[in-house]
Amino acid sequence: MTAVSIPNPERKLALTNLGIAYTAFIIGTLCGLLQVFIRNDALQLPAWLDYYQILTAHGVLLALIFTTFFIFGFFQSGMSKTLGAFGPKVVLWNWIGLIITTIGTVMATVMIVIGEASVLYTFYAPMMANGFFYVGLALFVIGTWVQSFALVGHYRVWRKANKGEKSPLFAFMTVATIILWVIACLGVVATVLFQFIPWAFGWQDSINVGLSRSLFWYFGHPLVYFWLLPAYIAWYVIVPKLIGGKVFSDSLARLAFILFILFSIPVGFHHQLTEPGIASFWKFLQTVLTFMVIVPSLMTAFSLFAVFETRGRELGGKGLFGWFTKLPWKDVRFTSIFVAMLFFIPGGAGGIINASFQMNEVIHNTLWVVGHFHITVGTPVAMTFFGVTFWLVPYLTKRVFTRSLQRLAFLQIITWSIGMLLMSTAQHVLGLFGAPRRTAYTGYQHEDAQSWFEGIISNHVTMAVGGSILFLSATILVFIVIQLTWFAPKAESVNQEIFPIAVSESKETPKILENWKVWIGVAFVLIAIAYTVPIMDMIQHAPPGSKGFQTW
């Protein structure tokens, strides 16, 4: 396969998305660094800056902005690579979407910076931010929809031109992720447009708090799958190519993605297990649906390790684990993602605990949860994105990922792993003691609380050291990205980076798997079963609404 790059318009689009993603990343991680030092009283903030303002910025910049911009940059490159060059309309609408997303981002960020929106990235009512914060969020989502529809348009053109053929696995998975995203956002768009904006601008005096929370979490859980599925695309489609193998089973890969769409949406109540206003029956039903994602997760784990083992044996690995040593550990593009996968093992196990109905009471809103998402989105997803960055950026800029940059990349993933191990272990342990999340420095003037921070792992120093190593790692990464964008040597045709896409045998794959109407239909049936009765109840039997409060 020749390693020609994708056309210039797509390169520019993708690079713009990645550039904004990494700008958000470095500011967001700087906030993280400040947080760990404020939490242990080593840093006094000036009067105009507040812990919760920084924490809002951290959550928004990393969980929403870094992830989303990165994902669209990745999708745009991969869709052009696997389905062919974008037509002029696809390019135009992608730009329009990107610009709307960016305007929304800037608007929300400005509101956070001027202290008008210290409501954290979950913006729970009835805390009321400046109305333009919510307008920014709405624009952000709408912009991503425009980019999404542009990509789906490109896919439809391809399918018309290739009647009866199954689409390339990358494109299929991209479309699946987009479908998930669009359906998920319906909840947050509904609450922001019809509840928050009219209320924040004073057109309505009160808000139905319970309803807003459930609409948010209808979106909030699939949001995590919107982060995770692009990482899974890399695991399913990119990694096998990096190690010289092929996709284990095309049909199972597609089935897994469909199951992720079906079982990641009608489950938002698992974030509301300890709150009033939802009958236990509905909480439990959604808990059961939540656990169904274990099926596609096990399928994914099986496929990945099957690829590793098959390839390792092809390379001469013998015995039960001999294949393991044959994998290309010196290739940082592979090793980074492998480490990301390892972090997902405790991450997934922790998720099972969180979702376990009664057990949720032990950890809900404690620092355990913070530890949990740093070893799910903060490492498995983020580090997979780092691994993709190492080849995607030089692929797009036509530069060389030099030996010395590769060594730096190893240093980057090692430091990220160590930092995260320290920080997230401390957070998990503190959470089990009962230490609440989202708190500035505090001991509650109570010996129980003060003793939390005296453990070997749970003391203030561990988290601070972990956070510092993490920020160091973030700066190394951004340095690498800058080098790869502007300064690394120009690639010749012999050393031009490739876009690694593994072969996936789709002849046997059942056609029904790509019949989106069916799966979208099933998804809505499940959503209707899980949500209609409780949501109707929240609307019809609503308590008197709440006025807005600015408590920061």
Partner 1 sequence: MHLHKYEKIWLSFGFAALIIFLSVVGVSAFHQGHTPSGGLQKVDPDNLEATPPFDSPGVYEKEDGSYEVIAIAEAFGYTPTEIQVPAGEEVTFKVTSKDVTHSFSIVDTNVNMMVVPGKVNEKTHTFEDPGTYLIVCNEYCGSGHHFMSMEIEVVEQ
Contact between 58 and Cu ion by CB under 5 A: the answer reads no
Interacting residues toward ligand HEM by CB under 6 A: 29, 32-33, 35-36, 55, 58-59, 62-63, 66-67, 120-121, 370, 373-374, 377-378, 382, 437-439, 467, 470-471, 474
SS3 string, 202-218, reads CCCCCECHHHHHHHHHH
- How many CB atoms sit inside 10 A of residue 498's CB? 14
Residue 213 contacts Cu ion per CB under 5 A = no
What's the chain's length in residues?
552
Among 52, 291, 324, 437, the one annotated catalytic: 437
**For residues 92 and 294, which CB has a smaller minimum distance to partner 1 in the complex?**
294
Residue 221 contacts Cu ion per CB under 5 A: yes
Q: Is 373 considered catalytic here?
A: yes
| Partner from partner 1, ligand HEM, Cu ion, none contacting 38, C-beta within 5 to 8 A by type | none
By the rule CB under 8 A, 358 interacts with partner 1: yes
Question: How far apart, in whole angstroms, are the C-alpha atoms of residue 237 and residue 247?
Answer: 7
Least gap, CB of 302 to partner 1 (angstroms): 5
Identify the residue among 449, 472, 482, 498 touching partner 1 (CB under 8 A).
Answer: 449
Q: Are 490 and 400 in contact (CB under 8 A)?
A: yes
Q: Which residue in the set 414, 440, 476, 498 belongs to the binding site for partner 1 (CB under 8 A)?
A: 440
**Residue 391 token pair:** 């080849």
Q: Near partner 1 by CB under 8 A, which window of 79-87, 168-176, 180-188, 441-449?
A: 441-449
Q: How far apart are CA 187 and CA 185, in angstroms?
A: 5
- Closest Cα to residue 307, out of 386, 391, 250? 250
Could you confirm whether 437 is annotated as catalytic? yes
Question: Looking at beta carbons only, is 69 or 134 nearer to partner 1?
Answer: 134
Kindly report the number of other CB atoms within 10 A of residue 492's CB atom: 9
Name the residue nearer to ligand HEM (CB basis): 263 or 471.
Answer: 471
Contacts with Cu ion: how many residues (CB under 5 A)? 1
Nearer to ligand HEM (CB atom), residue 134 or residue 519: 134
For 103-107, the CB contacts below 8 A with 24+ separation are 103/136, 103/139, 103/143, 104/135, 104/136, 104/137, 104/138, 104/139, 104/140, 104/141, 104/142, 104/143, 105/20, 105/24, 105/65, 105/136, 105/140, 106/136, 107/132, 107/133, 107/135, 107/136, 107/139
Q: How far is the CB of 551 from partner 1 (least distance, A)?
A: 3
Which residue among 373, 385, 401, 471 is the active-site one?
Answer: 373
Separation in Å, CA 425 to CA 63, 455, 463, 502: 20, 12, 9, 35
Q: How far from the centroid of its chain's Cα atoms is residue 142's Cα?
A: 18
| Distance, CA of 372 to CA of 459 (rounded, Å) | 18
- Catalytic-labelled residue, pool 11, 154, 221, 333: 221
Whether 302 is a known active-site residue: answer no
DSSP state of 377: I
User: Applying CB under 5 A, does 364 fall inside the site for Cu ion?
Assistant: no
Q: Residue 428, class by beta-carbon neighbours within 10 Å (0-12 exposed, 13-18 middle, 19+ buried)? A: buried
How far is Cα 76 from Cα 178, in angstroms, rounded to an integer?
A: 12
Residue among 22, 24, 39, 21 at smallest CA distance from 468: 39
Cβ at position 436, least distance to ligand HEM in Å: 8
The answer to whether the beta carbons of residues 21 and 66 sit under 8 Å apart is yes
What minimum distance in Å lies between the beta carbon of 348 and ligand HEM? Answer: 17
Please report how close the Cβ of residue 358 comes to Cu ion at its closest, in angstroms.
Answer: 17
The CB-of-121 to ligand HEM minimum distance in angstroms stands at: 5
Known catalytic membership, residue 221: yes
* Residue 364 annotated among the catalytic residues of the structure: no
Q: Which does 471 bind (CB under 5 to 8 A by kind): ligand HEM, partner 1, Cu ion, none?
A: ligand HEM
Q: For partner 1, give the closer residue by CB, 226 or 263.
A: 263
Q: Does 506 bind partner 1 (CB under 8 A)?
A: no
Nearer to ligand HEM, 137 or 152 (CB): 137
Among left, alpha and beta (phi > 0; psi -120 to 50; other), residue 440 is beta
Query: Which does residue 337 bind out of partner 1, ligand HEM, Cu ion, none, counting CB within 5 to 8 angstroms by kind?
Result: none
Q: With respect to ligand HEM, which residue has the nearer C-beta, 317 or 378?
A: 378
Q: Which lies closer to partner 1 via its Cβ, residue 154 or residue 213?
A: 213
474 binds, among ligand HEM, partner 1, Cu ion, none (CB under 5 to 8 A by kind): ligand HEM
Q: Is 294 left (phi over 0), alpha (psi -120 to 50) or beta?
A: alpha
CB of 177 to partner 1, least distance (A): 22
As measured in angstroms, the least distance from the Cβ of 29 to Cu ion is 24
Location of structure tokens 């209808």: 218
Where b means 16+ CB within 10 Å and e means fewer, 44-57 reads: eeeeeebbbbbbbb
Looking at 508, 511, 517, 540, which residue binds partner 1 (CB under 8 A)?
A: 508
CB 413 within 8 A of CB 336: yes
Considering beta carbons, is residue 91 or 265 the nearer one to Cu ion?
265
Q: Could you confirm whether 374 is annotated as catalytic? A: yes
Catalytic site includes residue 541? no
User: What does each C-alpha distance from 126 to 193, 204, 211, 260, 530 come to in angstroms?
Assistant: 15, 13, 12, 32, 25
- Binding of Cu ion by 283 (CB under 5 A): no
- In the shown chain, the binding pattern of residues 293 to 322 toward partner 1, with x for contact by CB under 8 A and - for none, equals -xx--xx--x---x----------------
From ligand HEM, Cu ion, partner 1, none, interface partner of 277 (C-beta below 5 to 8 A by class): partner 1
Binding site for Cu ion (CB under 5 A): 221
Q: Which residues are catalytic?
A: 221, 225, 372-374, 437-438
